[in-house]
Amino acid sequence: MNGILVINKDSKMTSHDVVNQIRKIFNTKKVGHLGTLDPLATGVLLVCLNEATKIGPFVDHLTKTYLATICLGKSSDTFDLEGNITEEVSIDKVDEKKVDEVLKNFQGSYLQTPPIFSAIKVNGKKLYEYARANEKVEIPKRNVEIYSIKRVSDFSYRNHCCYFDIEVAVSSGTYIRSLCYDIGQALQIPALMAYLCRTRVGKFRIDDAYKIDDVINQKYKLYNMLDLLDDYPIIDDNKFSILAKYGRKISLEIVKAKLGENPKRFIIKDNDKLIAIYELVNNIYRAVRVWN
């Protein structure tokens, strides 16, 4: 079985917990996920089985959409409710127009500092390992893209804090915890993420997702690898399939004659079977991944 499961992850489960469960259900070690979800978070987690585990490097462009609750009035070392509170103020009222203006200003590209409690590696060591050992480390900023961001709830006040929900669509690698913290910094108010649900990855919505218990009870849909790559130019031609299976290079002229363009990458398939992904390297197309 080669393909992708769309899982609706429960809170308190790690993404690796989901992978382990799927390994047991399908009795295979070759299982991986696309895009880690924090244990606190719920929602869409794409899980790859067997040959589909090789697809990861080619789908890092997929847009991810989240529903998050921001808490204004306190911040933590993890940027969410799981961490130790590092700053706290009493919030009686916020300027609602200012909040909406700040949210609007985040749309577009910005340099984001990932949370210290994350699995990003610096000098071969995960950031959370530095944090747990109380070791200082310089966290490299990364350029992320906020495609859209908007407030989708009224403001509510409880326990001296202000809460509101946002819906945000972002590029791969964006930390919503950091975004919530940064929104607070722009407002000059301590902030953290109180809730997170990933509602969409690429074209896969939470309505398409199944719980682990569903999968245990044989209720799921296994998507073809091509379903994740349907925005790539595609060649479905037996002659190209033969070239790909032998790892042959393909000239720009042949590809342009077939596709009418010279894309950076394209797919070769045989009916519903993914054969290879080709990439333009030094003015010739080379197979960067071939599936048997």
What residues are labeled active site? 38
Residue showing tokens 């197979």: 287
Is residue 33 within 8 Å of residue 23, measured between CB atoms?
A: no
Q: Kindly calculate the radius of gyration of the chain based on its CA atoms and give it in whole angstroms.
A: 22
CB-based contact 99:159 (threshold 8 Å): no
CA neighbours within 13 Å on the CB side: how many for 282? 3
Q: Are strands 74-76 and 3-9 parallel, antiparallel or unpaired?
A: unpaired
Kindly report the three-state secondary structure assignment for every residue of 24-53. HHHCCCCEEEECCCCCCCEEEEEEEEHHHH
Cβ neighbours for 133, distance < 8 A, ≥ 6 positions apart: none
8 Å CB contact between 99 and 191: no
CB distance 247 to 275 below 8 Å: no
The overall longest dimension of the chain from CA atoms, in Å, is 69
Tell me if 268 sits within 8 A of 276, measured CB to CB.
yes
